[in-house]
Amino acid sequence: MGEYDDDVVRLALQRETDRGGQSFFLHNRVETIEEAAERIAQLAPGIRVTVAHGQMRERELEEKMHAFLRGDADVLVSTTIIESGLDIPQANTLIVERADALGLAQLYQIRGRVGRSDVLAHAYLFYPDSRELTQEARARLATLADHTELGAGFAIAMRDLEIRGAGDLLGAEQSGHVAALGFELYVEMLGEAVAELAGERRTVPRPVRVDARVDAYVPADYIAAEALKIDLHRRLALADSDDELRELRAATEDRYGPLPEPVENLFAIQEAKVKAARLGADYVVFKAGRATVGPVELASAELRALRADISTAVYTTARKEITVRGEAFAEALRLVDAILDARQAA
């Protein structure tokens, strides 16, 4: 729709309440969700407001949702946990405060929480001034607006792939290539081929192999839904800068709480890939208490700068590998950081 508008929100919530229905208000930051609920309560006096988010204890969250289902509140101010769960047919107005911050498939799933009965439903998606929207965010929101018919999910999913640059992956030939190469590498090679056909010079970094003998997965007691686990893996694989990783970490902790060690390791592995790619390295290996990065060309000045930081670092000229001993995978990340710093210092 456009920038957040108090009048629209008040009118939308009041209209739903007046016809005996309920509303979802999506605010996807746990730290400020109580303030958002208080703002809604002041905005629309007389409308009963309750709050639910994923960091609540399971029993408390269950009680909140069942109370809303019973009709004990008119508006549920919630994080994206509403994308799956209880079917609440009397909730037929949805307001999303920052629609630009959500993925297309996620937005489609959340929009599907209203309109589950024979009552006309309303969904209001707010976002900052359009000049601030990224091209991808604009494409996501436009797609959602264009596909409102029953059964639009397939078209949404296909458009999601196109927006992300995956192209047509459904043909038998393409599917075979994806199976053989892996999704990330296939998309990179596809992007390279498209750029070449368009007459553009495009350098795509070679994918970095990270062989880390550590537990790296998403535990069921951290994220239970398989679809959400897969979404986190996908978003991690697409994060190709330090800033994107920091933003994803903040969003994940905001939604699910502090990262457990296996998820910390997933983030560390992707960080190693991103930084090693910046070095031009092909692999980062951590096993048997030793971290190795290679192949990397080090000039003598760079090697001196590296050893000033990590005195135990060993550079094998023949293999162009740098090795250091350490008890944790963090040592591999420290080594990659030290090599990057040495390059800058030399």
Could you read off the pLDDT of 252-288 as tens digits, one per residue?
Answer: 888 888 999 989 989 999 999 999 988 889 899 888 8
Query: Whole domain around residue 14: which residue ranges?
Result: 6-129
CATH number for the domain spanning 263: value is: 3.90.1150.50
CA angle, 274 then 277 then 282, to 5°: 125
Global pTM reads 0.47
Could you read off the pLDDT of 108-135 as tens digits, one per residue?
Answer: 667 666 776 677 888 888 877 655 666 6
Q: Is the peptide bond before 295 cis (omega within 30 degrees of 0)?
A: yes
In a domain, 185, yes or no: no
Q: Among 129, 148, 163, which residue terminates a domain?
A: 129
Lowest mean pLDDT among 27-36, 221-230, 288-297: 221-230
In a domain, 228, yes or no: yes
The DSSP result for 50-92, as a single string, is EEE-TTS-HHHHHHHHHHHHHTS-SEEEE-GGGGSS---TTEE
Q: State the total domains in the chain.
A: 2
221 and 120 assigned to the same domain: no
Could you read off the pLDDT of 211-257 as tens digits, one per residue?
Answer: 888 888 888 888 887 777 877 887 888 888 888 898 889 888 888 88
Q: Among 129, 144, 178, which residue terminates a domain?
A: 129
CATH number for the domain spanning 111: value is: 3.40.50.300
